[in-house]
């Protein structure tokens, strides 16, 4: 175990430190913080998709008992910066998408605020809107980069010639739907001003990022903004960056001179807190007679909003998954009159690996190879894009271990060959991957407290992932003490800053800083510190980052049943095997993996935000019609991992596990559905009618 922190508490399946508080209802979420003199805000949203607000009649709303203020662009306080158009709320009368915030009511109760918001009369000058994403649009453009900072296009070798010369060729288009994050806890903010100091109770994946983003928008020094968020009821990326409600609450609190609470409704979430763009992926592949890929080409078309660009990095996984001398990837965007897209669990990898892994399944069949064997045959020795060695790459081990556990060995590859009581049964596999990264900027302070416990402090987040537990386990090992001797404090900008819980980087980033602080503490105070002794540390640079390609890998297996006469589809088994470095807490890790896989199942079969092009809004904007996989949709679900020792990723050897579980699941299910029925569904979601048309 060279170089890595020895594991003693790390690796134990400890129960969640915050579990009892959560299940007994004493854990305080953003909207629940008691704040004296609280008022309540309800937004007024645009009912057109493009144009201008020409007049707002607030008289009826203002006349209602309990209404404190009705804010419009005409009377709202000015923001210091309108550089981010998503956050520049009530600063102009332009409407850029249906559902955009164009006003707000502050009242003494949420009910009065909501009632009054409905009484605000808005007149518009409407312009024709354009919300249609099509691959043949003339105005598609290449962004400067794709999320977060990858090149938009890449090209290696000579793809056209390689495709022309290939013995086996594929040219297919795969599409993924428009998806909305629906964490159980909706977005919520309480904003209170005390003179020039602002306190925000916000449901967020990063209090530091919220502070640093919002302070300049409001024209306040960051040190005068405090953001508090001990618990998050799920985020999946939608709480990774501040959205408009946060600025609106702060602005309104300033305007009325009282604390303001804003709880975004489930329906409002479909316009205001980001979503995953639909993607259209044209994939071309060429292979020689032995099933070795010679060319991979992925051309992605997706959308962004007209006011703010977000470019999902959908083709990025095709740059590193498989060996091929000739390769090209492109991203093109349509800027539409739609809400602003943003992060959703595994942006890029999640939709991109649906297309790639379905195409690989098709190529394997075309080459007459088992899909696992095909992947093994195309395993690269080095990262195809950079030429760097992988810090560790155990995709093949995951495929082999998964095949053993799943019972893949005697699979008959013939489609539509197994029937059980009217159901067609099939199995499928897909690979999974996610980058193993870190984000700089975290600090940790460790203090020896009066109770002779170590207080470990950093502004990290726990969005249900297990940070409260896992980071404490790391601190215990870093300090060489028992878990019970560590007291962790997170989720508050009064603590040392921490990077956002995003990109599966949390534990690797904060954990590295914990380790650094613990080393500083022991260097300074030795093994027997005195009360009040304190040391800090940060995340050290990793010299290996420039020398190695760092990714986690996995293999997803699915068994699917499709009713032959009606096309009803059920996933009877899902099994994932992952290689994601060291696992800090097997109990919470398993939850991460199976949660991701369930979300992948949901993407495969259920989730789809349906756009009404006439009006520019999502029609199924509630959980009755936007289906998310629930208990009855999940039968057997297993997640396993292999012991992986990676001395290069960081001193803890962890790779991050928050997102990899969703990657590849939908492809495994679509591949299994093809094996069951002989029908290849290339457009998600896989609904019953697609097997019969």
Partner 1 sequence: MDFLSPTSLAEALAAKARQPEAVPIAGGTDVMVELNFDQRRPSALLDLNRVAELSEWTVAGEHIRLGATVSYTRIIDELGTRLPGLAMAARTVGSPQIRNRGSVGGNLGAASPAGDTHPVLLATDAVVEAVSVRGTRMIPASEFYLGVKRNALAADELIAAVHLPITSAPQQFAKVGTRNAMVIAVCSVALALHPEQGRVGAALGSAAPTPRRALAAEAFLSAELGDTGQWSAPRPLPGSVVTRFGELVAQAAEPIDDVRGSAAYRRHALAVLARRTLDWAWQDYLRAGHGGE
* Residue ranges that bind partner 1, judged by CB under 8 A: 118, 267, 565-568, 570, 605-606, 610, 619-620, 622, 624-625, 627, 629-630, 632-633, 687-689, 692-693
Least Å distance between CB 561 and partner 1? 12
For the beta carbon of residue 3, count every other beta carbon within 10 angstroms. Answer: 12
DSSP symbol at 295: E
Least Å distance between CB 56 and partner 1? 19
Q: Which is nearer to partner 1, 374 or 691 (CB)?
A: 691
Angle of helix 586-605 relative to helix 349-366, nearest 10 degrees, comes to 70
Least Å distance between CB 624 and partner 1? 7
Phi, psi of 456 (to 5 degrees): -105, 125
Least Å distance between CB 444 and partner 1? 44
Q: Which is nearer to partner 1, 412 or 565 (CB)?
A: 565
Q: Is 625 noted as a catalytic residue in this protein?
A: no
Radius of gyration of the chain (CA): 26
Q: Which of 349, 385, 607, 659 is catalytic?
A: 659
CB 628 within 8 A of CB 595: no
Q: Which is nearer to partner 1, 13 or 118 (CB)?
A: 118
DSSP symbol at 358: H
CB 58 within 8 A of CB 44: no
For the beta carbon of residue 339, count every other beta carbon within 10 angstroms. Answer: 28
Structure tokens at 53: 């607000």
Q: Which is nearer to partner 1, 126 or 633 (CB)?
A: 633
Sheet holding 293-305, edge to edge: 154-156, 326-336, 293-305, 279-287, 168-176
Structure tokens at 308: 């703010």
Least Å distance between CB 626 and partner 1? 9
What is the distance between the terminal CA atoms of the chain, rounded to a whole angstrom? 56
Q: Which is nearer to partner 1, 83 or 625 (CB)?
A: 625
Integer Cα distance of 562 and 557 in angstroms: 16
Run of H or E including 174? strand 168-176
On the question of a cis peptide bond just before residue 148, with omega within 30 degrees of 0, the verdict is yes
Q: Which is nearer to partner 1, 20 or 688 (CB)?
A: 688
Integer Cα distance of 647 and 663 in angstroms: 24
CB 544 within 8 A of CB 563: no
Sheet holding 188-194, edge to edge: 67-71, 101-107, 39-45, 260-263, 188-194, 197-202, 225-228
Structure tokens at 309: 């660009």
Q: Which is nearer to partner 1, 35 or 634 (CB)?
A: 634
Run of H or E including 200? strand 197-202
CB 210 within 8 A of CB 316: no
Least Å distance between CB 628 and partner 1? 10
Angle of helix 207-218 relative to helix 244-256, nearest 10 degrees, comes to 50
Least Å distance between CB 29 and partner 1? 21
56-to-91, 117, 166, 247, 253 alpha-carbon distances in Å: 14, 12, 63, 21, 21
Least Å distance between CB 666 and partner 1? 15
Structure tokens at 622: 């509630």
Nearest-10 Cα torsion for 401, 403, 407, 410: -140
Integer Cα distance of 325 and 338 in angstroms: 39
Least Å distance between CB 464 and partner 1? 22
Integer Cα distance of 173 and 506 in angstroms: 35
Place of tokens 């007291």: 487
For 368, counting Cβ atoms within 10 Å of its Cβ (0-12 exposed, 13-18 middle, 19+ buried), the class is exposed
Integer Cα distance of 239 and 235 in angstroms: 5
For 1, counting Cβ atoms within 10 Å of its Cβ (0-12 exposed, 13-18 middle, 19+ buried), the class is exposed
Of 507, 502, 488, 402, the C-alpha closest to 449 is 488
For the beta carbon of residue 221, count every other beta carbon within 10 angstroms. Answer: 10
Q: Which is nearer to partner 1, 420 or 565 (CB)?
A: 565
Structure tokens at 54: 């020409």
Q: Which residues are catalytic?
A: 659
């Amino acid at each position: 175990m060279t170089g890595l922190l020895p594991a003693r508490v790390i690796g134990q399946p400890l129960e969640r430190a915050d579990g009892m508080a959560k299940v007994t209802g004493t854990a305080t979420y953003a909207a629940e913080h008691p704040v004296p003199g609280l008022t309540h805000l309800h937004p007024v949203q645009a009912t057109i998709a493009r144009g201008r607000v020409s007049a707002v009649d607030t008289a009826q709303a203002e006349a209602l008992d309990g209404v404190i203020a009705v804010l419009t662009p005409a009377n709202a306080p000015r923001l210091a910066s309108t550089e981010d158009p998503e956050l520049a709320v009530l600063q102009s009368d332009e409407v850029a998408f249906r559902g955009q915030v164009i006003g707000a009511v502050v009242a003494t109760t949420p009910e009065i605020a909501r009632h009054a918001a409905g009484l605000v009369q808005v007149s518009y000058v409407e312009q024709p809107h354009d919300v249609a994403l099509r691959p043949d649009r003339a105005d598609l453009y290449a962004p400067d980069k794709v999320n977060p900072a990858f090149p938009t296009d890449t090209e290696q070798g000579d793809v056209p010639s390689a495709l022309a010369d290939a013995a086996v060729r594929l040219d297919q288009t795969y599409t993924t739907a428009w998806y909305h994050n629906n964490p159980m806890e909706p977005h919520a903010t309480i904003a209170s001003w005390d003179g020039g100091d602002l306190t925000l109770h916000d449901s967020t994946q990063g209090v530091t990022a919220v502070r640093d983003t919002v302070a300049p928008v409001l024209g306040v020094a960051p040190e005068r903004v405090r953001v508090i968020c001990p618990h998050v009821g799920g985020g999946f990326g939608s709480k990774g960056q501040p959205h408009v409600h946060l600025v609106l609450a702060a602005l309104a609190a300033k305007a009325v001179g009282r604390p303001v609470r804003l709880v975004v409704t489930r329906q409002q979430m479909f316009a205001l807190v980001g979503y995953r763009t639909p993607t259209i992926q044209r994939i071309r592949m060429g292979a020689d007679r032995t099933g070795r890929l010679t060319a991979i080409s992925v051309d992605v078309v997706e959308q962004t909003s007209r006011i703010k660009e977000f470019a999902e990095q959908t083709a990025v996984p095709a740059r590193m998954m498989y060996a091929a001398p000739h390769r090209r990837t492109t991203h093109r965007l349509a800027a539409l009159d739609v809400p602003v897209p943003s992060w959703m669990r595994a942006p890029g990898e999640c939709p991109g690996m649906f297309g790639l892994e379905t195409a690989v399944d098709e190529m394997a069949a075309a080459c007459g190879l088992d899909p696992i064997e095909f992947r093994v045959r195309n395993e690269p020795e080095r990262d195809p894009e950079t030429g760097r060695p992988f810090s560790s790459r155990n995709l093949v081990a995951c495929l082999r271990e998964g095949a053993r556990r799943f019972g893949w060995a005697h699979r008959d590859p013939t489609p539509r060959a197994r029937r059980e009581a009217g159901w067609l049964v099939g199995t499928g596999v897909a690979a999974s991957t996610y980058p193993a990264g870190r984000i700089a900027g975290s600090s940790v302070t460790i203090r020896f407290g009066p109770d002779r416990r170590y207080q470990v402090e950093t502004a990290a987040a726990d969005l249900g992932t297990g940070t409260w537990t896992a980071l404490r386990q790391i601190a215990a090992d870093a300090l060489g003490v028992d878990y019970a001797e560590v007291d962790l404090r997170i989720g508050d900008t009064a603590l040392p800053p921490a990077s956002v819980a995003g990109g599966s980087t949390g534990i690797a980033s904060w954990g590295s800083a914990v380790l650094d602080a613990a080393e500083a503490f022991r260097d300074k105070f030795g093994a027997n510190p005195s009360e009040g002794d304190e040391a800090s540390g940060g995340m050290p640079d990793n010299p290996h980052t420039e020398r190695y390609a760092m990714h986690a890998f996995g293999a997803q297996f699915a068994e699917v049943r499709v009713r032959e006469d009606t096309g009803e589809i059920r996933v009877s088994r899902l099994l994932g095997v992952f290689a994601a470095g060291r696992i800090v807490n097997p109990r919470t890790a398993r939850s991460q993996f199976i949660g991701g896989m369930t979300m992948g199942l949901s993407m495969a079969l259920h989730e789809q935000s349906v756009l009404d092009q006439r009006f520019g809004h999502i029609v199924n904007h509630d959980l009755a019609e936007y289906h998310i996989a629930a208990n009855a949709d999940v039968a057997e679900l297993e997640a396993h991992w292999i012991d992986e020792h990676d001395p290069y990723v960081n001193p803890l050897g962890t790779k991050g596990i928050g997102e990899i579980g969703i990657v590849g699941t939908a492809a495994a299910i679509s591949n299994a559905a093809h094996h069951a029925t002989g029908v290849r569904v290339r457009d998600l979601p896989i609904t019953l009618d697609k097997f019969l048309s």
